Amino acid sequence: MAANARNMAPRRVLIVEDEAPIRRMIAFNLVRAGFEVEEAADCAAARSCIVDRCPDLVLVDWMLPDASGLELTRTLRRDERSRELPIIMLTARAEERDRVSGLEGGADDYITKPFSGRELVARINAVLRRTGSTGEEVLEIGDLRLDPVGHRIHAGGSEVTLGPTEYRLLKFLLENQERVFTRGQLLDHVWGGNVYVEERTIDVHVRRLRQALEPYAADRFVQTVRGAGYRLSAS
Ligand code: CA
């Protein structure tokens, strides 16, 4: 199974909390759980962090000095760049009544203080899974690696250049290794259901993908399954 292992690039979490001891406790727990963290003590700092480099998830405290966490959440939801950014609201017990409006404001989940580091990490992982923001994982099979962040593919230590369609096709197959897809299914997933493309077009792109990977003998990974379709396999 080692050949199919997916290496997770570290996920970045922005912690927006004005109380430094709580912020540091959260940061400590997240770093220990393998996350990268950034810290902001108010909404203004949080917004500039997000503009600099969008994190994978934001923890927003309900009570902040310059605006409420709810207002920050609403602002982030209105902005194109952060519209789909997963947000977890941190609330104190006295603010429990406000949780519902936190969710209405666009948060994906909330967690009540005091919470354990383990509980927080579990909730973060659940939200990341649910919101499907796993797009930054490095995907690999054998010595073939695709890095979606840098949009780069390496095979046997050399960089491989692919056209945009072959790139999407390879990425989809890497995300779904060992599964057989019919041409129709590949059309839906890689080309999108609304585009009119003949099924034989897929064969053309598969051939191009194999040619690009051939010098690295990685062509053996993209397998034709007679009467069914295609499969990416390590065997
Ligand atoms: Ca606070």
Spatial separation of the C-alpha atoms in residues 7 and 148, rounded to whole Å: 12
For residue 115, how far is its CA from the centre of ligand 1 (angstroms)?
Answer: 14
For residue 79, how far is its CA from the centre of ligand 1 (angstroms)?
Answer: 23
- Report pLDDT for 72: 94
Its pTM stands at 0.55
Spatial separation of the C-alpha atoms in residues 101 and 166, rounded to whole Å: 44
For residue 127, how far is its CA from the centre of ligand 1 (angstroms)?
Answer: 22
Tokens standing for residue 223 = 């397998």
Whether the CB-CB separation of 55 and 85 falls below 8 Å is answered with: yes
- Report pLDDT for 4: 34
* pLDDT > 90 fraction of the chain, expressed in percent and rounded: 32
Q: In what order do the strands lie in the sheet with 57-61?
A: 36-40, 12-16, 57-61, 87-91, 109-112
Whether the CB-CB separation of 65 and 32 falls below 8 Å is answered with: no
Lowest-pLDDT range of 21-25, 48-52, 98-102, 117-121 = 98-102
For residue 107, how far is its CA from the centre of ligand 1 (angstroms)?
Answer: 17
Whether the CB-CB separation of 108 and 59 falls below 8 Å is answered with: no
The H helix count followed by the E strand count for the chain is 8, 12
For residue 62, how far is its CA from the centre of ligand 1 (angstroms)?
Answer: 6
Per-residue pLDDT tens over the stretch 126-175: 888 777 655 567 888 888 889 887 888 998 888 999 888 899 899 889 88
Check the CA dihedral 35-37-42-46 and report its sign: negative
Per-residue pLDDT tens over the stretch 51-60: 888 899 999 9
CA angle 78, 83, 88 (to 5 degrees): 105
Per-residue pLDDT tens over the stretch 82-92: 888 999 999 88
For residue 14, how far is its CA from the centre of ligand 1 (angstroms)?
Answer: 15
For residue 100, how far is its CA from the centre of ligand 1 (angstroms)?
Answer: 18
